[in-house]
Every structure is written in C-alpha cells, then in structure tokens.
Amino acid sequence: MSQKKVLLIDDEEDILEILSYNLIKEGYQVTTANNGNEGIRKAKEVIPDLILLDVMMPEKDGIETCTELRTIKELQKTLIVFLSARSEEFSQLAGFEAGANDYVVKLIKPKILISKINALLQLRSSSAQNAAKITIGDLIIDKDNVRVTKNGQNFLLPKKEFDLLYLLASNTEKVFKREEILDRVWGNEVVVGERTIDVHIRRLREKLGINTIQTMKGIGYKLVV
C-alpha cells in the first residue's frame, strides 16, 4: 500500500516540526509549506490525500487558500482540515464555507490529531470502495437498486429524496452547501428554492428516523457518523 500524503501549511516552524515528526512516525509522507501561496503550489505538485491548514498566515490566509484549493480539479478528493488557534464560531463557519472537511483548534494534542487524521482518511477510503452501496450503522443505501434499508426494513424513497440521502452519505466528512445540493440533486431542472431542500430533509428524518442529518446553520447539511 502506498504512503498517504499529507501537506502541512503553517507559518509556525515549531508546529510544522512537531506535526511532521508525528505524521512521519505514523507512516505518512509529509510535505510542508510556510504560507498560502507556497501551499497551493506544493498541493498542485504533490496532490496530497489530506491538507492540514492554518487560518492566520502571511501572503494569503487560510480561508483564501482553502477557497482557491477547492477550485483545483485535481484536488477535489483531497481532505482539507483547518488547524487554528482561532476557536470563534464565525472563524469555524468561514472555514466550512470555504470548503473544509473539518476544523480543529490548536490546543489539541498531536496524538489525538493524528488519530483524527487516521479516521478521516480511513473513512474516505472506505466510502470510495463501497460507492455503489453505502453502509452507515444500520442504514444501507444501495445505489444500483435505488433502495434504502434500515434495521432490515426496506424503504422505497422518491428519487429526489434518495439522491439527496445518497449525496450526504457519499461523504460524511463534508458539509454540503445548499447551492451544491441544488446543483447535484436538482441540476438544471425546474428552478426550486432552498426551502425545497429543507422539506426533503424533514421527510427523510421522519421516514427513516435519522437524527444524524445535521443542519449547519447558514451553510447546509452534513450526515454525521
């Protein structure tokens, strides 16, 4: 199995040194960058599996960097995790809005952070291998047969409800923005409002008893494992 690649982008040398040491010890291939512009350049060269990104940096801050990284086609499957000293809610929301998969405050201990990185990458790998049939706890979403099973009970969902559930389940590490949900589930069909998404989410919760579809206020929805 090839080494997983992690790119660290932070202007604090001691942070880069500590994290690099722990990640390399864990078996990861590590690349580092001291600012946003350098991070974007190295991300294009390396195509990492995961990027660990600071918010406050010179030249280009983390939010701007993340936003630009998400426009690069080759990096669409790369996980982006913010690691920042800023713990304010608005800062975390800005990170998710920029396209981050997770946001971690820098007080976290290196071993716990490594465990989180391991879990995120393992979950992504598992989801990719089982794309046609996604299993989350007692919930099975079978794309080939357009069928949902929970605790052995089958549910025949309307196409849009199924497509919405499958989208959320396809990447449980991600917060799906309303605009993306509308584009990927409804596409170029009759124009619908954001209220339509809320109605479909409510129906899914009522039918399947799913309490893990989380509303990220002002952003969108996330399926939490």
Q: What's the confidence (pLDDT) of residue 37?
A: 95
Most confident of 120-124, 163-167, 182-186: 163-167
Q: Which of 109, 129, 149 is the last residue of a domain?
A: 129
Average pLDDT over residues 1-13: 87
Q: Which two tokens stand for residue 97?
A: 């809005």
CATH of the domain at 27: 3.40.50.2300
206 and 181 together in one domain: yes
Q: What's the confidence (pLDDT) of residue 159?
A: 86
Helix residue spans in 149-215 (DSSP H): 159-170, 178-181, 194-208
Q: What's the confidence (pLDDT) of residue 191?
A: 55
Q: What's the confidence (pLDDT) of residue 56?
A: 92
* DSSP conformational letter for 74: G
What does the pLDDT look like over 172-213, one tens digit per residue?
878 888 888 888 888 765 556 668 888 899 999 988 887 778
Task: State how many domains the chain has.
Answer: 2
Q: Which of 129, 150, 169 is the last residue of a domain?
A: 129
12 and 61 together in one domain: yes
121 and 31 together in one domain: yes
- Check whether 1 has a pLDDT greater than 50: no
48 and 141 together in one domain: no
175 and 78 together in one domain: no
CA dist 39 → 13, 24, 202 (Å): 14, 19, 40
- Check whether 8 has a pLDDT greater than 50: yes
42 and 106 together in one domain: yes
60 and 87 together in one domain: yes
Q: Is 194 left (phi over 0), alpha (psi -120 to 50) or beta?
A: alpha
49 and 154 together in one domain: no
Q: What's the confidence (pLDDT) of residue 43?
A: 96
CATH of the domain at 163: 1.10.10.10
- Check whether 40 has a pLDDT greater than 90: yes
Residue located via tokens 């060269």:
45
Over the chain, what is the mean pLDDT?
Answer: 86
Q: What is the CA 192 to chain-centroid distance, rounded?
A: 25
Domain of residue 201 covers 133-223
93 and 148 together in one domain: no
121 and 138 together in one domain: no
d(CA 39, CA 195): 38
Average pLDDT over residues 130-147: 79
Q: What's the confidence (pLDDT) of residue 69?
A: 94
121 and 153 together in one domain: no
109 and 185 together in one domain: no
